């Protein structure tokens, strides 16, 4: 008889330092319950616009099912370049400065792997999307969280950033409009961050996947700031703007040297992004603006509904100006984020995500997604009202 | 059009029964401002009417609908408006549209039976001086009416929690 093996002995050491996602635990709790109203989702509740789905179906019917160039279809990269030069006045060569990826998720992963040497520090501005810290660890880097504050509308300041910089710092990851806070950064505030980036010779990884979902004023693309184009790895995709989460469509825009090194990983690990999704993305960029604006206006209405509602409940909620999340403070209730979210789920069957899942800076907050129907938002608010009332006695 | 007016119109176009309080919730306006704004929109005719879309077939009512395409000759000066006015005054006529292409005008007509609709077209429409010819298409089934799909859309399953 051969000796039995212990599979756990094979797991790589560095993975043991990555805690399992707090979202995962909540997901498991929720999936055991019925009749849950969910404000816990990080994806649009709209179905992908029909013209996009139709273009994909058409392409499949015509047998368009092969690999594409490793970079992605040139037509798609050209459309992306056109978008950036028209919308943000920043020019990217579609042949050498653009890479189509399997969602922003892949773009994020290979962007970090492309620039991080073992031991390099990467500053992660928090509260942040849950993938940033683990992705840095997977790449052999050291994540350095920096907390933003509600009192500053969850914007990062140049002082906060400076304080976290050491001689090992290689890059900074920001995400505005932000998941989970809904915060945005205006141009002036970003300019002061750009100064710090130049002064310390850093690379900025800017995840702008929510750029279209900006409700007051216009989004500022980090790469459009003077001198920032070649210091930015710009990440964006179609999941949020065009309600295309399941298509897995993203892209990275950066200087040719950076795209080349990302490409090195991408060509061997992914080969190319799915062709059907790329066809859908081309259609989205060519003819999708009207549908995007319609969805944005509906999110905007729900935003008013949920923010007004949460504040009425006595949960202080700063005004989110982008994405589709409200991020109320629950500290007035005396509960931790986890206890609040778990209590709300068990007693009132409303699913939310505790803020601490998104880093230290999220302690005492709750992420409530308003990518949910108005009816669900109303019901959730009513149930939350009961829950909060119940805490008082 | 300002942003708030567009919000109000889109909300009411989707559901005419949305209460002013709810519109206020959705736009951040006060209930008073919403009410005033809606009154103004009604007054200047931007909001024409509040209607209900009914699936009569499901209700058991066997209405017959037909689309009638007309070729017309124009009266001097009066143009298409005169003939359109003659047509839309019939209560049987549910819509009147001026078209480009092979035909000039398209009507939708509602009646209680095919015979009733056919006779209406033969006696009241085809006999009008300006009408050169008619083509009648009976509607066999309506799948979508005024932007509303007339059967239950499938429920799409999404994760309850996602990052
Ligand atoms: C900030 C942020 N970045 C990236 C992603 C992942 O996007 P994709 O579906 O393009 O991989 C998400 C999804 O929730 C997100 O919120």
pLDDT per residue as tens digits for the range B87-96:
999 999 999 9
Check residue A284 and give its pLDDT.
Answer: 98
H-helix or E-strand spanning residue A257 = helix A256-269
CB A375 within 8 A of CB A305: no
The model's confidence at residue B24, banded by pLDDT at 50, 70 and 90, is very high
What confidence category does residue A344 fall into, taking pLDDT thresholds of 50, 70 and 90? very high
Two tokens at A176?
A: 């505005």
**Ligand 1 geometric centre to CA of A289 (Å):** 20
The domain locations on chain A are: 7-48+290-391, 64-288
Residue A60 Cα to ligand 1 middle (Å): 26
What pLDDT score does A31 carry? 85
d(CA B136, CA B117): 9
CATH code for the domain defined by A7-48+290-391: 3.90.1150.10
Kindly state if the Cβ of A42 falls inside 6 Å of ligand 1.
Answer: yes
Tell me: pLDDT of A172 over 80. yes
Inform me whether the pLDDT recorded for B17 exceeds 90. yes
**Residue B13 forms part of a structural domain:** yes
Could you tell me which residues are beta bridge partners of residue B95? B108
Mean pLDDT to the nearest integer, A120-149: 97
Find the helix or strand (DSSP H, E) in which B35 lies. helix B31-43
What integer pLDDT is reported at residue A277 of this predicted model? 98
The helix/strand/coil state of A363 is coil
CATH number at residue B75: 3.30.70.920
- pLDDT classification of B149: cutoffs 50, 70, 90: confident
With a 6 A CB cut-off, is A213 part of the ligand 1 pocket? no
pLDDT of residue B77: 61
User: Cβ B160–A31 below 8 Å, yes or no?
Assistant: yes
Task: Give the ipTM of the model, two decimals please.
Answer: 0.77
Tell me phi and psi for residue A266, to 5 degrees: -55, -45
**If pLDDT is split at 50, 70 and 90, which confidence band does A218 have?**
very high
pLDDT the model gives residue A25: 80
Contact criterion met (CB < 8 Å) for B26 and A31:
no
C-alpha A122/C-alpha A145 separation (Å) is 8
B162 within a domain of the structure (yes/no): no
- Sheet strands (E) in chain B: 64-72, 93-98, 105-111, 131-138, 144-145, 148-149
Residue A122 has pLDDT above 80, yes or no: yes
| Nearest residue in chain A measured CA to CA from B8 | A301
DSSP string, A95-121: TTSEEEESHHHHHHHHHHHHHPPTT-E
Q: Residue B23: which domain range?
A: 3-43
In this structure, are residues B130 and B71 in contact, taking their beta carbons and an 8 Å threshold?
no
Would residue B52 count as lying in a domain? no
Q: Write phi, then psi, for A273 (nearest 5 degrees).
A: -75, 155
Topology of domain A64-288, CATH: 3.40.640
Q: Which residue of B12, B155, B160 is the best one to mutate when testing the A interface, meaning the one whose CB has the most A CBs within 10 A?
A: B160
Judge whether B137 lies within some domain: yes
> What's the CA-to-centroid distance between B162 and ligand 1, angstroms?
10
Query: The sheet that has A353-354: what strands, in order across it?
Result: A325-326, A366-369, A353-354
Q: Is the CB of A179 under 6 A from ligand 1?
A: yes
Q: Per the omega criterion (within 30 degrees of 0), is the bond before A212 cis?
A: no
Query: Ligand 1, from A23, A105, A358: best to mutate by most atoms within 8 Å of Cβ?
Result: A105
Residue B149 maps to a domain: no
In B48-98, beta strands by DSSP E: 64-72, 93-98
B51 assigned to some structural domain:
no
> Does residue B81 fall inside a structural domain?
yes
For residue B126, give every residue at least 6 positions away whose Cβ sits within 8 Å of its Cβ, in sequence order, or none: B133, B134
Task: Write the residue with the smallest CA distance to atom 2 of ligand 1.
Answer: A129
Q: What was the pLDDT predicted at B76?
A: 66
Q: What is the dihedral of CA A46, A51, A53, A58, to 10 degrees?
A: 170
Q: Please indicate whether residue A135, judged by its CB atom, sits closer than 6 Å to ligand 1.
A: no
Copy the structure tokens of residue A80.
């992306």
Is B53 contained in some domain?
A: no
Residues of A with CB under 8 A from a CB of B: 21, 23, 26-27, 30-31, 36, 38, 40-43, 45, 47, 129-131, 179, 297-298, 300-302, 304-305, 308-309, 351, 353, 374
Q: Answer yes or no: do B35 and B76 share one domain.
A: no
Query: Cα–chain-centroid distance for residue A50?
Result: 24
Q: Which residue of B has its CA nearest to A25?
A: B161
Q: Rounded mean pLDDT of chain B? A: 91
Q: Between B27, B28, B163, which is nearest A130 by CB?
A: B163
* CATH number for the domain that contains residue B25: 1.10.10.10
Q: Is A245 near ligand 1, meaning CB less than 6 Å away?
A: yes
- pLDDT per position as a tens digit, A24-72: 888 888 888 888 999 999 999 999 999 999 999 999 999 999 999 999 9
From its phi and psi, is residue A236 left (phi > 0), alpha (psi between -120 and 50) or beta?
A: beta
pLDDT, greater one: B54 or A249: A249
* CA pair distance A162, B25, nearest whole angstrom: 41
Do B161 and A40 make contact, defined as CB atoms within 8 angstroms? Answer: yes
**Region B41-57: what's the mean pLDDT?**
93
Q: Specify the ligand 1 atom closest to the Cα of A42.
A: 14
Cα of A392 to ligand 1 centre, how many Å? 37
Q: Tokens in use for B67? A: 């689309």
The domain total for chain B is 2
Residue A391 CA: distances (Å) to CA of A197, A303, A335, A380: 46, 26, 9, 17
On whether both B73 and B138 belong to a single domain, the answer is yes
**Per-residue confidence (pLDDT) for residue B8, from 0 to 100:** 97
Q: Write the residue in A23, A36, A304 that is nearest to B163 by C-beta.
A: A23
Considering CB atoms only, which of A41, A47, A179 is closest to B160? Answer: A41
For chain A, the average pLDDT equals: 96
């Amino acid at each position: 008889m051969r000796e039995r093996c212990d599979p756990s002995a094979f797991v790589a050491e560095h993975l043991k330092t990555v805690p399992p996602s707090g979202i995962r635990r909540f997901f498991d709790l929720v999936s055991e319950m019925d009749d849950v109203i969910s404000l816990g989702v990080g994806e649009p509740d709209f179905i992908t616009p029909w013209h996009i789905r139709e273009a994909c179906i058409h392409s499949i019917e015509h047998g368009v099912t092969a690999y594409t160039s490793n970079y992605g279809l040139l037509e798609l990269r050209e459309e992306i370049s056109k978008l950036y030069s028209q919308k943000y006045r920043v020019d990217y060569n579609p042949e050498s400065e653009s890479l189509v990826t399997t969602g922003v998720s892949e773009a994020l992963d290979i962007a970090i792997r492309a620039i991080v040497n073992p031991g390099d520090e990467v500053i992660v501005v928090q509260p942040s999307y849950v993938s940033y810290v683990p992705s840095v660890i997977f790449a052999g880097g050291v994540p350095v969280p920096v907390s933003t504050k509600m009192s500053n509308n969850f914007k990062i300041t140049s002082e906060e950033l400076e304080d976290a910089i050491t001689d090992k710092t290689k890059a900074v990851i920001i995400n505005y409009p932000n998941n989970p806070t809904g915060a945005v950064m205006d141009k002036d505030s970003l300019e002061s961050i750009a100064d710090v980036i130049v002064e310390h010779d850093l690379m900025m990884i800017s995840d702008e996947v929510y750029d279209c979902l900006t409700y007051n004023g216009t989004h500022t693309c980090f790469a459009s700031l003077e001198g920032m184009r070649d210091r930015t790895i710009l990440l964006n995709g179609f999941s949020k703007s065009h309600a295309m989460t399941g298509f897995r469509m993203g892209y990275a825009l950066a200087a040719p040297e950076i795209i080349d090194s990302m490409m090195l990983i991408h060509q061997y690990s992914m080969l190319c992004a799915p062709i059907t999704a790329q066809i859908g993305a081309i259609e989205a960029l060519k003819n999708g603006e009207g549908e995007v604006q319609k969805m944005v206006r509906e999110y905007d209405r729900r935003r008013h509904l949920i923010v007004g509602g949460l504040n009425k409940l006595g949960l202080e909620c700063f005004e989110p100006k982008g994405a589709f999340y409200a991020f109320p403070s629950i500290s007035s209730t005396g509960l931790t984020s986890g206890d609040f979210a778990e209590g709300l789920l068990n007693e009132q069957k409303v699913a939310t995500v505790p803020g601490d899942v998104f880093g230290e800076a999220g302690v005492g907050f709750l992420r409530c997604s308003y990518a949910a129907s108005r009816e669900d938002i109303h019901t959730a608010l009513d149930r939350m009202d009961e829950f909060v009332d119940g805490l008082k006695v | 059009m300002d942003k708030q007016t567009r919000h109000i119109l889109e909300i009411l176009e989707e559901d005419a029964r949305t209460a002013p309080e709810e519109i206020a919730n959705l736009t951040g306006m006060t209930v008073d401002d919403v009410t005033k704004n809606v009154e103004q929109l009604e007054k200047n005719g931007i909001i024409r009417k509040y209607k209900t879309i009914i699936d009569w077939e499901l209700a058991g009512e066997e209405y017959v609908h037909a689309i009638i395409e007309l070729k017309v000759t124009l009266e001097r000066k009066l143009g298409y408006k005169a003939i359109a006015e003659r047509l839309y005054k019939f209560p049987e006529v549910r819509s009147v549209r001026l078209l480009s292409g092979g035909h000039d005008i398209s009507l939708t007509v509602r009646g209680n039976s095919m015979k009733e609709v056919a006779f209406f077209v033969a006696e009241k429409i085809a006999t009008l001086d300006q009408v050169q010819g008619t083509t009648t298409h009976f509607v066999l089934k309506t799948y979508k009416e005024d932007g509303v799909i007339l059967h239950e859309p499938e429920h799409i399953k999404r994760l309850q929690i996602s990052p």
